[in-house]
Amino acid sequence: MAEFSERELRDAMGSFATGVTIVTTMTDRGPLGMTVNSFASVSLDPPLVLWSPARKSARFPAFEAASHFVVHILSQDQQELADIFSKTGFEAFDDLEYTLGIGDAPLLSGCTTRFECSHAAGYDGGDHLIVVGEVLRISACDKPSLLFYRGKFTGLR
């Protein structure tokens, strides 16, 4: 049995600075997205990345079933977008311009990097699902990335 609370674990994990991403996909109801900081590179050959949606999220079933998705690494000037996608899913696209990428997954502009992926595998991760995607296309620019550290958004200084 763990000798720490869930809050203590969460606070300890918050001492590790992470990038901030929005993952998008297309559903029968339209485009859907969510803010995610559980993102990592897995393999260069084949090109694989992973991210982990929470099972308790109302958006979980759509992402669990998605054949394609896009991971957008947000730039420092996209904190408002991160806030919007952390609270809403379908509604976030109501007044947002986007284009469609591979598998009709929505592409957001202004990001530092985008990884267009096909679903390669899913693994049990406790209260999360570990989603592995094969990277099919990358687009990137030189904008500095938005970071999350100790419960707050920040940037490179």
Q: What is the pLDDT of residues 11-60, one digit of tens each?
A: 887 777 788 999 999 999 999 999 998 899 999 999 999 999 999 999 99
Residue 115 lies in a domain: yes
Domains in the chain: how many in total? 1
Phi/psi at 121 (5° precision): -165, 160
DSSP character for 45? T
Residue 156 lies in a domain: no
Model pTM score: 0.91
Q: Which CATH number is 106's domain given? A: 2.30.110.10
Q: What is the pLDDT of residue 157?
A: 61
Residue 72 lies in a domain: yes
- 72-100 pLDDT tens trace: 999 999 999 999 999 887 888 988 999 99
Q: What is the mean pLDDT of residues 105-123?
A: 97
Residue 13 lies in a domain: no
Residue ranges making up the domain that contains 129: 20-150
Residue 113 lies in a domain: yes
Q: Indicate whether 117 pLDDT > 70.
A: yes
